[in-house]
Amino acid sequence: MLRQVEGSKAIADVVAACKPQVICAYPISPQTHIVEGLSQLVKNGTLTGCEFINVESEFSAMSVAIGSSATGARTYTATASQGLLYMVEAVYNASGLGLPIVMTVANRAIGAPINIWNDHSDSMSQRDSGWIQLYAENNQEATDLHIQAFRIAEEMSLPVMVCMDGFILTHAYEQVDIPEEPEVSKFLKPFVPRQVLDPAEPVSIGAMVGPETFLEVKYLAHQRMIDSLETIQEVGVEFESQFGRDSGGLLKSYKCDGAETIIIALGSIIGTLKDLVDEMQVQGHSIGLVGLTSFRPFPFDQLRQAVTGAKRVVVLEKALSTGVGGIVTADVRTSLRGTQIKDFTLIAGLGGRSITMKSLKEYVLRAMNDSVAELTFLDLDVNIVESELAKERALR
Amino acid sequence: MEKPYAITLNVGSSLANHTGTWRVEHPEYVHRMPPCNNACPAGENIQNWLYIAEDGSYEAAWRELIKENPFPAIMGRVCYHPCQVACNRAELDEAVGINSVERFLGDHAIEKGWKIDPPDHETGFSVLVIGAGPAGLSAAYHLRRMGHTVVVRDATHAPGGMMRYGIPQYRLPRNILDAEVNRIKEMGVKFEFDTRVDDVHDALNEGFNAVFLAIGAQLSKRAYIPASESARILDAIKVLHDVEDGNQPLLGRKVVVYGGGNTAMDVARSAKRLGAEEAIIVYRRTRDKAPANDMEIEEALEEGILMKWLSTVKHAEGGSLQIEKMELDESGFPQPTGEIEYLEADSLILALGQEVDFSLLGNSADIDTKDGVMPVDHTMMTTHPGIFAGGDMIPADRTVTTSIGHGKKAARNIDAWLRMTTYEKESDKPVVAFEDLNTWYYTDAPHAVRERLEASRRVQDFSEVVKGLDESTALYEARRCMSCGNCFECDNCFGVCPDNAIIKLGPGKGFEINMDYCKGCGICVSECPASAITMISEV
Amino acid sequence: MTTTPVKFYQVGSFAVGNRLLTEEERSGQSNPDRANALTSGHRACQGCGEALGARYALDAAMRAANDQIIAVNATGCLEVFSTPYPESSWRIAWLHSLFGNAPAVATGVAAALKAQGRTDIRVVGQGGDGATVDIGFGALSGMFERNDDVLYICYDNEAYMNTGVQRSGATPPAARTATTQAVGEEPGNTFGQGKFLPRIAMAHEIPYVATATIADLRDLEAKVTRAMEFRGARYLHVLVPCPLGWGSASCDTIKIARLATQSGLFPVFEAVNGEVVASTKIRHKVDVEEYLKLQSRYAHLFSPTRREDVISHLRRMADKNIARYELMGE
């Protein structure tokens, strides 16, 4: 049923429909509305058979999730930004132990300077944490991805992060079709944990593994992640057949046929970029768009196929690897290895900076002539940074 | 369940890791010598029979006890229990009342009529025991258990020796003595009373394969005391003997006993019971130096016996004694002071010790004697082959218990001699000191005091002064034993091992070390209350 | 609650068992069929107090919960020596996640069990003092404050032993560790307020807080049993001497724990709903020196010069405990 709801409320409702047994969270903007919604659903009896734990930190949130998941309970948590960083040790631990926890990351910048607005620095920092990372374009997709996330997580015994842009999605009111619990339950099979803490069949989980075995353990984790590329696709297909929506999968091509220039991006900016592509194609430009849903695992082959025939790609990134530039770009380059396709990186929207159609268009037009630098910071105030750099250098 | 590789492990799989290889030393269960056993002149395995009695197995405990000493009921009354002096528990609270438990077991056996089985085979050897005192009876008992034919001859007309003719009835009721001696009779030992052996060699000629001499020391020592005709001077042993035979000696109202040993106490206390208004003990040294057992002195004092320490009798006249005060010199010996006082006395009883009456042996010149006693070798054999001796007639402490020990030792050696082998005593084990124990684990528990007859009632007759323990107090007392040097299955080792390397074998079976896992930390040794485990180096 | 020691005549009141006692009167550890939650083959040092304490506590918990136990373990010696791949010494359902999160993980386990309707299964969280009083303190406090249904047991060996004996918040004053060397004016750990977690736990007014040592097994077992009678957050702080870190003989582990209690340096008590309700009285009072002298971590207090000032400072600490917890007399 279509409803006009805040993104966070949609997530709360759909997570509830997934019937998690344990939810734990520590409040941080812009994740708060999600967990507030869930706490209400548990408290008012809408979501039954679920324990909602108010923890004292994100580190404990993920730790509670670890304990709960290892005990065979479907487990959910949500965080953002500093909170995600505060739980990092446990984030890695959850994936290392192969626990199918689902976590929403309401993407937000990382301080200092403290900044509560959206970019992807937080989840990108967890690129190598061993979690599957799915990025939502809009609240409908965010809603649908949560259902798929539980399914993928539990099939692969891997934790899944559903990343949705803070404020831009979490606080936006949109029309969202939120599947009801019976439909969702039909889609999600009962959770059968690969390993579980059970006095009837006790095991020791979390052994210390030495140099002679550690590599194999890591290799297995790597392969499991690679195997999940297929699972993500299959789950997306199955989801579409049940719910009639093409949400999920690894990536989505938008009007790429014959395009010389293809923009690659993640998250809510895809909506803006679709408008841009529409506008520029009307104006006769050869341009397309690939929206990456799965950043981890990275769909190298699928991306290469999606951009085959293009002359160049522009990777729009809402995060920065300081001193290097793009983060996604590195993976895109790996995908394009052996092709003649050029790549450009556009760093945009850091800390919630507006990404305007005007600026985007100006940049893309230049990029289409290969007349942009490999790395560009959209709308950078050149005067300020140059004068500051001059002062700094003078003081050194 | 399908477990993730390496991260998730099977429970208990560490049993494959044999940590015993880390070890450089390991614990071992041992049996050490408890101080009580070590101190027992009769060689009783006290700790063991207490251990058996602790769970109420009185008959088994009694049978363990009589392996060494056939007279627990007598011992429980007359033994001066050096075991209790040695008892480590004394340093924690009070010594275990071993003697009272022994008496309980002895009395219980009499009450239940427990018998000693006759030997299961006869050796064909026969042994003559001369003297039916504690040494003789003990030897007879042990020899009989070994299957030998035993004849006991005694010049008196009842068995017991000094147990009958030296120890008054108020300390050892005769029905108790008779009951325990009777058991020996029932084993097949033949007694011949009123039979004085004048010549030991005759006995050998009679066909006995060996002889055990245990004639005691029955001759009172005579000190030279200038005395007038009118002075009434008696000899303690004779007095006690007369009392036993029912010939009431004439002692008068005021009786002075000269001497500081147990016989002096016994005779003074007997005198009170015979009607003396006043009984005074005169002894030339101090109370500390008096050879009498302290408890006997104490009981005598309670009964109103007066003591004149550091005093000698200089002269005796009818009704009066001249007493000289003594003082201790630097080396602790009493020296005369010349200070004189007078003491009223209707009679003076000399209790200055006893000597062996070798005249009893008649023509035995070929057996060496020395300093008034008969030396024996380590096998208790005299200088005459096949003739052994023990008890008061050989150089040793003159107590009932010591004599019983002699009898046992002699029996074992006679047995070996008869078989033409040698008796090998188990080698001495180290004695457990208080410091060896971990006394934390023993709760404070003062010992159960035996009820005594009120002093004023005691002196009226010869009824037994010290009462026995009832079963519950005897059990309580037995369980106070700290089991020095021997496992009593407290499970401490089993519980305190951080490596679960102790195997509990079940009741009565103790424990074993699992060397696969024992890392040799030694906690079991430290925490063993009884010092029954030791560390053995492996390097 | 006060535990009445079995006054079984003279033996068995304090010992693990005794052949003369009925099964019920013996400690759980005397039972040959005890759980052995931590079994042989673990790689703890010789004479490890923590290995002993963990088996004592978990076996007692197993008894109290009909074997329905899940344990969550913080990183540390106990975790490392019990579960190096490919061998586990645990015979119970057990999870190790991280150093600083055992209380929260335990909360998660308890929450899952509640959601699954399996509240017959009881949860034990456990860790060393570092995991408990330092790095995991926030998580522990959160678990207490929410009153989650977890028994958390701290095996306190008073320093970071697994990493090589560095100071923790539970390291006592004057003790030498690798990061509080016995040099300078104030050798060893400095005197501060200390972090005695049982009192902090009590401040949360959780249903049950108790201290125990491996020197008094029956007391420890009684406390675990008692703790398991409550629902909600419970805290048990067990002193477990470490021969390696304390510089003591491996055979003295229990003895040292005993001296810690008998000197008054480590008070043994229990508290219900934030109030002390009972303390274990000192049986044989000893001076702190007897305790200190067995441990080389205090050797600098006696040589090259005797530091009477420091020793008497420690003595005053013991006396304060004795007064505060009424450790003397009946």
Residue B123 and residue B491 in contact, taking contact as beta carbons nearer than 8 Å: no
- Are residue B319 and residue B402 in the same domain, yes or no? no
Contact B2 A195 (CB under 8 A): yes
CA distance A345 to A347: 6
Does the residue C265 lie in any domain?
yes
Q: Sort out which chain C residues have CB atoms less than 8 A from A55's CB and list them.
A: 104, 107, 142
HSE, CB side, 13 Å, CA atoms: give it for residue A37: 21
Does the residue B434 lie in any domain?
no
Q: Is the pLDDT of residue B369 over 60?
A: yes
Q: Is the pLDDT of residue C193 over 80?
A: no
Q: From start to end of chain A, where are the E strands?
A: 2-6, 22-25, 51-54, 75-79, 102-107, 132-135, 160-165, 173-177, 203-205, 251-254, 261-265, 287-292, 294-296, 312-317, 342-347, 375-377
Q: Is the pLDDT of residue C6 over 90?
A: no
Residue A291 and residue A254 in contact, taking contact as beta carbons nearer than 8 Å: yes
Contact C96 A210 (CB under 8 A): no
Residue A81 and residue A50 in contact, taking contact as beta carbons nearer than 8 Å: no
Listed residue (B244, B246, B251, B247) closest to B272, CA to CA = B251
Q: How far is C273 from chain B (nearest CA, A)?
A: 32
Nearest CB to B490: which of C11, C40, C41? C11
- Are residue B241 and residue B333 in the same domain, yes or no? yes
- Are residue B148 and residue B85 in the same domain, yes or no? no
Listed residue (B365, B406, B308, B434) closest to B43, CA to CA = B406
Arithmetic mean of pLDDT over chain B: 91
- Are residue B49 and residue B26 in the same domain, yes or no? no
pLDDT band at B362 (very low <50, low <70, confident <90, very high): low
Contact C112 A22 (CB under 8 A): yes
The mean per-residue pLDDT over the stretch A121-137 comes to 98
Does the residue C154 lie in any domain?
yes
- Which 27-86 residues of chain A touch chain C by CB within 8 A? 49-51, 53-57, 59-61, 63-73, 75
CATH number at residue B23: 3.30.70.20
Q: Is B537 on the interface with A (CB under 8 A)?
A: no
Does the residue B425 lie in any domain?
no
Contact B6 A216 (CB under 8 A): yes
Does the residue C7 lie in any domain?
no
Q: Sort out which chain A residues have CB atoms less than 8 A from C108's CB and list them.
A: 22, 24, 53, 63-71, 75
Contact A60 C104 (CB under 8 A): yes
- Are residue B467 and residue B500 in the same domain, yes or no? no
DSSP secondary-structure letter at B79? Answer: -
Strands A203-205 and B8-10: antiparallel
Identify the pLDDT of residue C320. 96
Does the residue B443 lie in any domain?
no
CA distance C65 to C120: 8
Identify the pLDDT of residue A198. 97
CA distance B243 to B254: 18
Taking only the tens place, the pLDDT of each residue in A278-292 is 999 999 999 999 999
The mean per-residue pLDDT over the stretch A141-153 comes to 98
Taking only the tens place, the pLDDT of each residue in C212-265 is 999 999 999 999 999 999 999 999 999 999 999 999 999 999 999 999 999 999
Does the residue B413 lie in any domain?
yes
Q: Sort out which chain C residues have CB atoms less than 8 A from B18's CB and list them.
A: 41
Identify the pLDDT of residue B492. 95
CA distance B286 to B302: 18
Specify the higher pLDDT residue, C7 or A99.
A99
Burial class (CB in 10 A: 0-12, 13-18, 19+), A15: buried
Does the residue B386 lie in any domain?
yes
Residue A61 and residue A124 in contact, taking contact as beta carbons nearer than 8 Å: no
Q: Is the pLDDT of residue B317 over 90?
A: no
Look at chain B and count its residues: 539
Listed residue (C252, C254, C250, C225) closest to C240, CA to CA = C254
CATH number at residue C225: 3.40.50.970
Residue C116 and residue C109 in contact, taking contact as beta carbons nearer than 8 Å: no
Nearest CB to C121: which of A67, A199, A206? A199
Taking only the tens place, the pLDDT of each residue in A199-209 is 999 999 999 99
> Hunting for tokens 């990061």 — which residue is that?
C179
- With H, G, I as helix, E, B as strand and everything else as coil, classify residue C234: strand
Contact B1 A209 (CB under 8 A): no
- Are residue B522 and residue B506 in the same domain, yes or no? yes
Q: Is the pLDDT of residue C186 over 90?
A: no
Identify the pLDDT of residue B371. 84
pLDDT band at B1 (very low <50, low <70, confident <90, very high): low
Q: How far is A39 from chain C (nearest CA, A)?
A: 15
The mean per-residue pLDDT over the stretch C131-141 comes to 97
Nearest CB to A207: which of C85, C109, C141? C85
To 5 degrees, how large is the angle CA A311–CA A316–CA A321? Answer: 115
pLDDT band at B3 (very low <50, low <70, confident <90, very high): confident
Other CB atoms within a 10 A radius of the CB of residue B327 amount to 11
Q: How far is A198 from chain B (nearest CA, A)?
A: 11
Q: In a mutagenesis test of the A interface, which of C43, C80, C107, C150 is the best target, namely the one with the most A β-carbons within 10 Å?
A: C107
The DSSP string of A308-366 is: TT-SEEEEEES--BTTTB-SHHHHHHHHHTTS--EEEEEE--GGG----HHHHHHHHHH
Q: Is the pLDDT of residue A332 over 60?
A: yes
The mean per-residue pLDDT over the stretch B508-521 comes to 96
The mean per-residue pLDDT over the stretch A136-147 comes to 98
Q: Is the pLDDT of residue C8 over 70?
A: no
- Helices then strands, counting H and E runs in chain C, come out as 11, 8
Residue A90 and residue A103 in contact, taking contact as beta carbons nearer than 8 Å: no
The mean per-residue pLDDT over the stretch B447-460 comes to 71
Cα first-last separation, chain A: 62
Number of domains within chain C: 1
Cα first-last separation, chain B: 46
φ, ψ of residue C222 in degrees (nearest 5): -60, -35
Number of domains within chain B: 4
Does the residue B426 lie in any domain?
no
H helices of chain C, in order, are 49-64, 77-82, 102-115, 129, 137-146, 197-203, 217-229, 243-246, 253-262, 288-292, 308-324
Specify the higher pLDDT residue, C296 or B231.
C296
Q: Is the pLDDT of residue B373 over 80?
A: yes
pLDDT band at B363 (very low <50, low <70, confident <90, very high): low
pLDDT band at C2 (very low <50, low <70, confident <90, very high): very low
pLDDT band at B367 (very low <50, low <70, confident <90, very high): confident
Angle between helices A58-70 and A88-96 (to 10 degrees): 20
Give chains near B: 3+ CB pairs under 8 A: A, C
Question: Which two structure tokens, joined as six digits, stand for C58?
Answer: 């978990």
φ, ψ of residue A343 in degrees (nearest 5): -130, 145
- With H, G, I as helix, E, B as strand and everything else as coil, classify residue B427: coil
Give the largest CA-CA distance in chain C.
63
CB pairs under 8 A between A and B: 44
- Are residue B338 and residue B271 in the same domain, yes or no? yes
Identify the pLDDT of residue C7. 42
Taking only the tens place, the pLDDT of each residue in C72-102 is 999 999 999 999 999 999 999 999 999 999 9
Burial class (CB in 10 A: 0-12, 13-18, 19+), A223: exposed
- With H, G, I as helix, E, B as strand and everything else as coil, classify residue B536: strand
Arithmetic mean of pLDDT over chain C: 94
Does the residue C18 lie in any domain?
no
CA distance B517 to B20: 4
CATH number at residue B48: 1.10.1060.10
Contact B2 A194 (CB under 8 A): yes
Identify the pLDDT of residue C3. 41
Q: Is C263 on the interface with B (CB under 8 A)?
A: no
CA distance B35 to B82: 10
Residue B296 and residue B262 in contact, taking contact as beta carbons nearer than 8 Å: yes
pLDDT band at B222 (very low <50, low <70, confident <90, very high): confident
**Tell me, what's the ipTM?**
0.96
Q: For residues B346-365, b (16+ Cβ closer than 10 Å) or e, as one string?
A: bbbbbbbbbebebebbeebe
Other CB atoms within a 10 A radius of the CB of residue C184 amount to 8
Across the beta sheet with C93-96, the strand order is B8-10, A203-205, C93-96, C69-73, C122-128, C150-156, C234-239, C208-213, C269-272, C275-279
Q: Is the pLDDT of residue A378 over 80?
A: yes
Identify the pLDDT of residue B454. 72
Listed residue (A24, A58, A21) closest to C101, CA to CA = A58
Specify the higher pLDDT residue, A353 or C4.
A353
HSE, CB side, 13 Å, CA atoms: give it for residue A98: 26
Give chains near A: 3+ CB pairs under 8 A: B, C
Find how far residue A192's CA is from the centre of its chain. Answer: 25
CA distance B346 to B253: 6
**Chain A residue nearest residue C66, CA to CA:** A199
Does the residue C276 lie in any domain?
yes
Contact C112 A97 (CB under 8 A): no
Does the residue C5 lie in any domain?
no
Q: Is the pLDDT of residue B318 over 90?
A: no
Taking only the tens place, the pLDDT of each residue in B186-196 is 999 999 999 98
Q: In chain B, what percentage of residues exceed pLDDT 90? A: 70
Identify the pLDDT of residue C5. 40
- Are residue B193 and residue B233 in the same domain, yes or no? no
Does the residue B423 lie in any domain?
no
Residue A171 and residue A8 in contact, taking contact as beta carbons nearer than 8 Å: yes
Contact C83 A208 (CB under 8 A): yes
Bridge partners of residue B342, in order along the sequence: B322
Q: How far is B71 from chain C (nearest CA, A)?
A: 28
Sign of CA dihedral A203, C26, B521, C300: positive
Across the beta sheet with A294-296, the strand order is A51-54, A22-25, A75-79, A102-107, A160-165, A132-135, A294-296
- With H, G, I as helix, E, B as strand and everything else as coil, classify residue C9: coil
H or E element in which residue B273 lies = helix B262-273
Identify the pLDDT of residue C1. 37
DSSP secondary-structure letter at C179? Answer: T
CATH number at residue B164: 3.50.50.60
Does the residue B291 lie in any domain?
yes
Contact C11 B441 (CB under 8 A): yes
Lowest mean pLDDT among A263-272, B293-302, B406-415, C306-315: B293-302
Q: Which domain holds residue B99?
A: 35-114+449-478
Identify the pLDDT of residue C4. 40
H or E element in which residue B178 lies = helix B174-186
Does the residue C1 lie in any domain?
no
Identify the pLDDT of residue B364. 63
pLDDT band at C11 (very low <50, low <70, confident <90, very high): low
Domains defined along chain A, listed by start:
2-243 (3.40.50.970), 251-383 (3.40.50.920)
Q: How far is A120 from chain C (nearest CA, A)?
A: 27
Arithmetic mean of pLDDT over chain A: 97
Q: Which domain holds residue C191?
A: 23-324
- With H, G, I as helix, E, B as strand and everything else as coil, classify residue A8: helix
The mean per-residue pLDDT over the stretch A237-256 comes to 97
Contact A201 B1 (CB under 8 A): yes
- Domain's final residue, options B354, B380, B395: B354
Does the residue C187 lie in any domain?
yes
- Domain's final residue, options B354, B374, B392: B354
